[in-house]
Structures are given as structure tokens and as C-alpha cells.
């Protein structure tokens, strides 16, 4: 053990990995005698699957029976053959350098390799860089040359055709501890000099990284935007797309929840880095044994790798834009660094691959931003509509990802994603309307505030529901039909959007304003119904939790939380409480016999008094049925109709003008006044509420309007033509429906 420790201290990576494979208990007991002779046996079995492992066993050297002192353990995993001489020499140089933190020389040796390789050889990345033309430079940058840190005006300080216009951008969490900012009062001082002592630890580390990677300039939002100037902030926020797209590299302090944590973290870098072992190929013999293969091994048990929840940075809404726009990211992710670019990704443990934190929708949108293809018009797809919906689905996932992230200022909800939209807009003929795209605009309208965890963010609890006091912005940021109009996380009906069909006509759409605040109007023709809803409120609407706790869902925890109404318990995803007639009372717990259960879901955007008449407009529908004793839906042309609608109230400003207040899905033909599905469905029934002693049985709900059948059968034609208004004869005679053109603002 003494010799093993000595060789480990002298930076032998295999010896370091062997030394740290036994547990602390085994070191303190079974391996405590440093002078005891040991046999340490390494074993690799190339036949164990596509990724063989290297194992180690400690034997007592003097034992005739070769009894293991420490049982056989996996030491490292095979990462593949190394045929890249540049990578091999990079890892060799790194193994000889200081590596006690992610800010060590060895770290930047590997980071420089990734950057050099990306800029010189990665075809997609080179095409993206060439496509930008004349290099864009932000209005201001931080100059870190000559051991000085100062703010510069790019127009005045970077001149001439040969001037170095390359810069690094920083992606970071501001955190709760105040950080240095450029203000009107200190602007001139920052142009002269910024004392490094005043910089947050994250900023100091970013400056160090910028210098180590050979750059002169770094862009940091709190320093390069005048924070107390509204006009400057709005002007610079509008260029965010260009800032991150044109940065040669974005440095991300992923693990740091605030500026006091920094980019770098202490660790044993020799355990983080892979090592190379030269071995003969199993099938070689004789003279061919001289032909050695370089095999890459990644440390297995004692190194700190990826896994678990996303780091804090990825829980911030603003950062999604930075992730999607940046062509290259060097990510300081706790105990190791990672690399992401358009062509490849890697980490210290797996320089040529490994886990990528960019999930599917992010990759597709990055392709749309940095490639030459229209994100919404992929060539080679025969079914253009299906292809378009598939690509729109990536956008919807991005919106869900974005709204589930935390945002310090809700007023940034529109602008913090505008850069991505503007970058995509340059590659498509679609128009962008306050968070929605023009093609299949009707699909973009179908967002809602869910009662359950329909979308699970990678960073848990990034959006703090408890601290979000208002579901609407104090000052409107966008039209009510846009998801930007609310402050809380929203969901889209994915993957159902691949199959539902339009039953309305979008006649015109108009939006005006700035990247930070917009107003707009959509002209739409469709089938309208009016009625009243005794709303069940999602937990995210905190105003309702205070005013109407008995009508507010509990925080989604993975269990099925039921709501009780008049002695009956049900889930708000399965039923909602509706009345065609005015309940004639302003009380929230009304006794009107007009209330009935409708199979489907109603999701309000705000508190709605049950005595307020709501207008519903049908947007889309599909055939949806269920086989007996199954929760898996069917979608045959004879299945009942499931209708997706928006809930509206008049603005009172002009005739036919409405604003959105909710979203409703009507199941089993309930939109048309029928109940064509099975009354009993596994997991989706009305139950007797706990503690309720009334006499009504589950089968006696008819007087509450549970069934509205024609001739007692409830059967009508379910076939329909998509992309057109439904036939009028599908509606029950008792349903008051209008076909009308309205405006939603």
C-alpha cells in the first residue's frame, strides 16, 4: 500500500483509481498495514457486452490459496479505442498538470482541445460560424487583458478590420446575494476599472477562464447592461439572440445557485479524467503483439459523475434561451466540466461522448437556429402536416420547459424567450405572435394550467408556486390567448396535438408592441356555446387557494387528489361542474339544481365567479373511445367526440370582443349535448365523498344532468371532416349553439 500511495501521489492515474476503489472501512481495516506485500490483479473481460469493464482484486501476496483481501471490484469502464492522436496527447499532458479543481490547468487543457476541435473540424459548427457573416459584437464587453478588468464600448474600442472581435459569454444564476451591477452612477467608473475584489466569485472565475482559453473579452449581463436604465435594458434584451449566437463560447456556471459559489469546484481531477491503457488485440499473435490498441478507461466507482437532477442554472427561465442560442458551451457542472456544441458533446469522464443534458426538443430547436433548414418545414417528409406538427411539438415542449423554470421578474416572461423566436424566425416563413407560431396557430392556443404534474421538469421545483402570488401579470404583457399572459407553468396537450383536427377558422391574427410587452387580436370563426362553470382551480392559482380552498386542488404529489362537490368526489381531469342556465346566485357554493357533471376537464386561467356567463368556442376535436376495463384510448372514426375549447368572457369594449379565462375539454360528445361514452370507466368515476351521508346513489345522478340522450340512446353520427366547422346536425336539439365570428384579445 505504501508503494501504491507513492505512485498515486506521483500522478499515475491507474494507481490513483486502484487506491480509491476500496471503501474507507477496507482501507482502515483490511489494508491498514502499509508494509504488507499485496498482489493487485487487474482483469478485463472483452466478452462482457459492448462496454467491457476493468476490475481489480487485492490479494495477500503470501497466501498460498490466493484469498482475496478485498473482493473483486469494478475499477473502470471501457470508453472505446483511442484513434485520435490529438486527444491522446491532450489527456497525457493533462495527467501531468495540476488538477485539484475544475479551474486547474488540466481542465483547461481538455477545454482547449474541445474548442480547437470544434472550430477547426466540426462541419456543422464551422458552417454555423460562417453563416453569421461579419462578426457581431455586443454593445459593451468586459476587457480582461493586461491583468485589468474594465467595461468597454465596442463601437469605440474595437475598431479596424483586423480587430479581435471574439468574445465569451457567461451564463449564470444571479442568486439571492447581491452581485456587482453596472448602473448609471458607476458607469464611468466601470469604464476605467473594475476592482476584481468587487466581482462575485462566479465573475472572477469567468474572467480566469476567459484568459486561460485565450480570449480578451467576456460578456456578463449584469455588467454589460445598465441595470437601472429601462431604455438600455430593453434595447440590450432585444439583442440577446445575437449576443449568445455570436459568442465564440458560452461559459456556464451550472452548479452555482448564486454568484458567491463560483464556476470552479475542488475535486480530485485525476479520478475524474479517463486514462489510456495500451493492450494487444485479443486476436493478435506473435509479432502482431507489437500492434497495441489504446483503450480509454473511465473511472467507475470513486469519481463524481453525472446523474441526479439538473444543476440549479438549468432551473432558470432566462437560461433556456442561452442554452438554445449558444453554438458552444463549456459547462462547469460541479466536480467536472462538460462540452456541448452543434456537432458533439463530452465530459471529463467521457471526452468523446457520454451524457448530454440537451434533451430532444432542445437539440431540434438548436438545429433550427444554427442550421440552414426551416425548423417547421423539414425536407423529405411526405406527410407535410404530420412533419409540421412534429416540429411544433418541439416548440411546445420548449415552452413547457421554459414556463416550469424559475424567473425572478415575471415581467420578463415574454422577452426571455424572444431571442430564440427571433433566431428561428430567420429560418422560417412563419410569423411569431407573442409565443405562438402562425402555421397551425390554433394548436398554439391549446395551452392550460394543469391540475396535475402533466409535465415533469428536469430541475424539480424550479418554479416556486407558493411564492407566486398572482396568476395574471400586474400589467398585461401579452394577449389573453397567449401563454405569456399568465405567470405560472403551463402545459400543452402533447402528444394529442399530433392527431386532433381543427374545427374552427382562424381568419386573421395581429400583434404589436416590443419584445418586452405586446398586445394582439385574433379573429376566429367557430361554434360557440354559453354556460356557467363552478370552477375547480389548479394549485398554481394561489389567489383561489386563499379565497376558495375547498374548490382548489392540492399541490400535485403524484397521488390522485379528488375534489368534493355536493357529496360527490371526482378528479378535475375527469369531470367539471357546468350549467346551461343562470344559477341565479352569486354564492360560490350554490344550491341550484342546474349544476351537472360534464365528463372532461375545465382549467381556469383566473378566478371566475360561478354567476359569470362563460362563452366557449370549439377549436379542435378528435374521436376518442375506450375499450372495456382499459385506460388506453382508441381513436376510430366511430368513437365519441372529444372537443377542445377556449373559455371566454366579453371585454365590454365592443360587440364580439372577448378575452380568454380558461380552457375546457369536453369528452364523450358532451360538447354536442350527448353522453355517448360508457358511464363507468376504470379510474374515472364519481365516488361518494368521504363522510357524506346523503341518499343519492351513484346510479341516481340523472337529475343532475348526467345523461342527455336522444330517445334514451344517446347515439349520433361521430364521423366528421377535419379542418372545417362541424355539421350543425351533430348538436342535440336542447343545445343552444351559435356559429359566429369573434375577436379574442
pLDDT recorded at residue 282: 61
- Higher pLDDT, residue 715 or 561: 561
Exposure on the CB side of residue 435, measured as CA atoms within 13 A: 34
Q: If pLDDT is split at 50, 70 and 90, which confidence band does 63 have?
A: low
Q: What is the DSSP string of 611-630?
A: TS-EEEEEEEEEE-EE-TT-
Residue 62: count other Cβ atoms within 10 Å of its Cβ. 9
pLDDT in tens, 414-445: 999 999 999 998 888 899 999 999 999 999 99
Q: If pLDDT is split at 50, 70 and 90, which confidence band does 373 have?
A: confident
pLDDT recorded at residue 592: 60
* For residues 592-608, average pLDDT: 90
Helices (H), 371-481: 384-403, 418-425, 441-444
Strand pairing class (563-565; 501-502): unpaired
Residue 497: count other Cβ atoms within 10 Å of its Cβ. 19
Q: Percent of the chain, pLDDT > 90?
A: 60
Q: If pLDDT is split at 50, 70 and 90, which confidence band does 705 have?
A: very low
* For residues 397-401, average pLDDT: 95
Q: What is the DSSP string of 679-730?
A: S--TT---EEPTT---S--TT--GGGT----STTT--------SSSPPPGGG
pLDDT recorded at residue 380: 66
pLDDT recorded at residue 702: 38
Q: Measured between alpha carbons, how far is 423 from 426 in angstroms, rounded to an integer?
A: 6
pLDDT recorded at residue 337: 93
pLDDT recorded at residue 558: 63
pLDDT recorded at residue 53: 85
Residue the block writes with cell 449564470:
172
Q: Is the pLDDT of residue 34 over 90?
A: yes
3-state secondary structure 169-226: EEECCCCCCCCCCCCCCCHHHHHHCCCHHHCCHHHHHHHHHHHHCCCCEEECHHHHCC
Q: If pLDDT is split at 50, 70 and 90, which confidence band does 689 have?
A: low
pLDDT in tens, 265-289: 999 988 888 888 887 766 655 555 5
Q: Measured between alpha carbons, how far is 522 from 745 in angstroms, rounded to an integer?
A: 7
Q: Measured between alpha carbons, how far is 505 from 442 in angstroms, rounded to an integer?
A: 9
pLDDT recorded at residue 476: 93
pLDDT recorded at residue 133: 53
Q: What's the DSSP call for residue 406?
A: B
pLDDT in tens, 185-198: 999 999 999 999 99
- Higher pLDDT, residue 333 or 678: 333
Q: Is the pLDDT of residue 357 over 70?
A: no
pLDDT recorded at residue 276: 86
Q: Is the pLDDT of residue 713 over 50?
A: no
pLDDT recorded at residue 694: 31
* For residues 225-250, average pLDDT: 93
Q: Is the pLDDT of residue 588 over 60?
A: no
Contact (CB, 8 A) for 166 and 143: no
pLDDT recorded at residue 583: 81
pLDDT recorded at residue 742: 98
Number of H helices, E strands in the chain: 19, 31
Sequence-ordered strand ranges (E) for 266-383: 275-280, 292-299, 328-333, 336-341, 345-347
Contact (CB, 8 A) for 421 and 515: no
Q: Measured between alpha carbons, how far is 251 from 219 in angstroms, rounded to an integer?
A: 10
Q: If pLDDT is split at 50, 70 and 90, which confidence band does 95 have?
A: confident
pLDDT recorded at residue 297: 87
Task: Give SS3 for 402.
Answer: helix
Q: Measured between alpha carbons, how far is 480 from 433 in angstroms, rounded to an integer?
A: 12
The whole-chain average pLDDT of the chain stands at 87
Name the grid cell of 596: 351537472
Q: Measured between alpha carbons, how far is 676 from 669 in angstroms, rounded to an integer?
A: 6
Cα–Cα distances (Å) from 498 to 380, 586, 663, in that order, read 18, 41, 19
361 contact partners, CB below 8 Å, separation of at least 6 = 393, 394, 395, 397, 398, 401
pLDDT recorded at residue 181: 97
pLDDT recorded at residue 75: 87
* For residues 238-260, average pLDDT: 94
* For residues 616-639, average pLDDT: 89
Q: Measured between alpha carbons, how far is 394 from 444 in angstroms, rounded to an integer?
A: 12
pLDDT in tens, 114-129: 999 999 876 667 655 5
Q: If pLDDT is split at 50, 70 and 90, which confidence band does 232 have?
A: very high
Q: Is the pLDDT of residue 480 over 90?
A: yes
Exposure on the CB side of residue 673, measured as CA atoms within 13 A: 17
- Higher pLDDT, residue 529 or 388: 529
Q: Is the pLDDT of residue 170 over 90?
A: yes
* For residues 543-565, average pLDDT: 85
Find which of 72-86, 256-270, 702-716 is predicted with most confidence, using mean pLDDT.
Answer: 256-270
Helix (H) or strand (E) holding 94: helix 85-95
pLDDT recorded at residue 300: 65
pLDDT recorded at residue 707: 40
Rounded to the nearest 10 degrees, the angle between the axes of helix 85-95 and helix 105-120 is 160
Name the grid cell of 17: 483509481
pLDDT recorded at residue 124: 67
pLDDT recorded at residue 101: 95
Q: If pLDDT is split at 50, 70 and 90, which confidence band does 704 have?
A: very low
pLDDT recorded at residue 559: 64
* For residues 677-702, average pLDDT: 54
Amino acid at each position: 500500500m505504501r508503494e501504491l500511495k507513492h505512485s498515486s501521489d506521483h500522478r499515475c492515474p491507474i494507481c490513483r483509481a486502484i487506491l480509491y476503489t476500496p471503501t474507507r472501512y477496507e482501507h482502515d481495516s483490511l489494508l491498514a498495514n502499509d508494509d504488507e506485500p499485496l498482489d493487485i490483479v487487474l482483469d478485463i473481460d472483452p466478452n462482457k457486452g459492448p462496454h467491457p469493464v476493468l476490475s481489480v482484486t487485492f490479494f495477500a501476496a503470501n497466501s498460498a490459496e490466493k484469498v482475496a483481501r478485498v473482493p473483486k471490484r469494478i475499477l473502470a469502464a471501457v470508453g472505446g479505442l483511442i484513434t485520435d492522436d490529438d486527444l491522446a496527447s491532450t489527456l497525457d499532458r493533462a495527467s501531468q498538470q495540476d488538477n485539484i479543481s475544475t479551474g486547474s490547468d488540466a481542465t483547461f487543457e481538455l477545454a482547449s482541445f474541445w474548442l480547437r476541435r470544434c472550430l477547426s473540424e466540426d462541419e456543422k459548427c464551422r458552417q454555423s460560424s460562417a453563416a453569421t457573416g461579419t462578426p457581431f459584437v455586443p454593445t459593451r464587453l468586459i476587457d480582461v487583458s493586461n491583468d485589468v478588468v474594465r467595461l468597454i464600448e465596442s463601437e469605440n474600442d474595437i475598431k479596424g478590420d483586423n480587430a479581435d472581435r471574439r468574445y465569451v459569454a457567461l451564463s449564470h444564476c444571479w442568486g439571492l446575494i447581491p452581485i456587482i451591477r453596472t448602473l448609471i452612477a458607476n458607469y464611468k467608473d466601470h469604464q476605467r476599472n473594475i476592482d476584481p475584489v468587487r466581482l462575485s466569485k462566479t465573475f472572477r472565475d469567468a474572467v480566469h477562464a476567459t484568459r486561460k482559453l485565450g480570449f480578451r473579452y467576456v460578456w456578463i449581463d449584469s455588467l454589460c447592461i445598465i441595470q437601472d436604465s429601462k431604455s438600455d435594458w430593453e434595447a440590450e434584451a432585444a439583442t440577446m439572440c445575437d449576443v449568445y449566437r455570436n459568442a465564440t463560447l458560452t461559459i456556464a456556471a451550472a452548479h452555482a445557485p448564486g454568484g458567491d459559489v463560483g464556476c470552479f469546484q475542488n475535486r480530485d481531477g485525476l479520478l475524474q479524467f479517463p486514462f489510456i491503457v495500451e493492450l494487444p488485440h485479443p486476436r493478435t499473435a506473435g509479432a502482431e503483439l507489437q500492434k497495441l490498441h489504446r483503450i480509454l478507461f473511465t473511472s467507475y466507482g470513486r469519481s463524481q459523475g453525472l446523474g441526479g437532477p439538473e444543476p440549479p442554472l438549468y432551473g432558470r427561465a432566462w437560461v433556456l434561451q442561452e442554452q438554445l442560442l449558444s453554438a458552444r458551451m463549456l459547462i462547469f457542472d460541479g466536480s467536472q466540466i462538460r462540452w456541448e456544441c452543434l456537432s458533439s458533446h463530452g465530459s471529463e469522464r467521457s471526452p468523446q461522448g457520454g451524457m448530454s443534458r440537451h434533451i430532444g426538443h432542445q437539440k431540434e430547436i438548436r438545429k433550427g437556429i444554427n442550421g440552414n433548414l426551416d425548423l417547421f418545414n423539414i425536407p423529405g417528409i411526405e406527410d407535410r402536416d404530420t412533419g409540421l406538427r412534429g416540429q411544433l411539438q418541439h416548440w411546445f415542449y420548449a415552452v413547457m420547459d421554459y414556463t416550469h423554470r424559475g424567473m425572478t421578474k415575471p415581467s420578463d416572461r415574454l422577452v426571455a424567450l424572444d431571442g430564440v423566436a427571433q433566431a428561428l424566425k430567420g429560418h422560417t416563413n412563419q410569423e411569431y405572435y407573442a409565443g405562438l407560431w402562425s402555421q397551425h396557430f390554433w394548436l398554439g392556443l391549446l395551452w392550460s394550467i394543469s391540475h396535475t404534474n402533466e409535465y415533469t421538469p428536469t430541475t424539480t421545483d424550479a418554479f416556486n408556486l407558493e411564492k407566486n402570488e398572482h396568476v395574471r401579470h400586474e400589467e398585461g404583457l401579452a394577449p389573453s390567448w397567449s401563454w405569456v399572459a399568465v405567470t405560472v407553468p403551463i402545459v400543452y396537450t402533447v402528444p394529442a396535438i399530433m392527431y386532433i383536427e381543427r374545427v374552427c377558422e382562424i381568419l386573421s391574427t395581429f400583434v404589436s408592441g416590443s419584445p418586452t410587452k405586446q398586445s394582439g387580436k385574433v379573429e376566429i370563426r367557430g361554434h360557440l356555446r354559453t354556460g356557467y362553470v363552478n370552477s375547480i382551480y389548479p394549485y398554481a392559482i394561489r389567489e383561489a387557494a386563499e379565497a376558495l380552498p375547498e374548490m382548489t386542488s392540492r399541490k400535485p404529489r403524484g397521488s390522485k387528489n379528488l375534489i368534493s362537490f355536493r357529496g360527490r368526489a371526482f378528479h378535475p381531469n375527469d369531470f367539471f361542474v357546468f350549467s346551461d342556465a343562470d344559477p341565479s346566485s352569486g354564492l360560490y357554493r350554490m344550491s341550484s339544481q342546474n349544476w351537472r357533471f360534464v365528463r372532461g376537464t375545465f382549467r381556469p386561467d383566473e378566478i371566475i365567479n360561478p354567476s359569470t356567463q362563460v362563452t366557449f368556442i370549439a377549436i379542435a376535436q378528435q374521436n376518442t373511445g375506450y375499450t372495456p376495463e382499459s385506460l388506453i384510448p382508441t381513436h376510430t372514426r366511430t368513437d365519441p367526440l372529444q372537443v377542445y375549447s377556449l373559455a371566454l368572457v366579453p371585454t365590454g369594449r365592443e360587440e364580439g370582443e372577448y378575452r380568454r379565462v380558461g380552457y375546457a375539454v369536453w369528452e364523450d360528445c358532451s360538447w354536442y349535448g350527448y353522453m355517448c361514452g360508457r358511464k363507468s370507466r376504470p379510474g374515472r368515476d364519481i365516488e361518494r365523498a368521504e363522510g357524506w351521508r346523503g341518499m343519492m346513489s351513484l346510479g341516481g345522478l340523472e337529475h343532475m344532468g348526467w345523461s342527455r340522450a336522444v330517445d334514451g340512446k344517446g347515439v349520433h353520427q361521430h364521423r366528421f371532416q377535419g379542418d372545417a366547422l362541424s355539421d350543425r346536425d351533430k348538436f342535440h336539439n336542447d343545445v343552444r349553439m351559435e356559429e359566429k365570428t369573434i375577436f379574442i384579445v
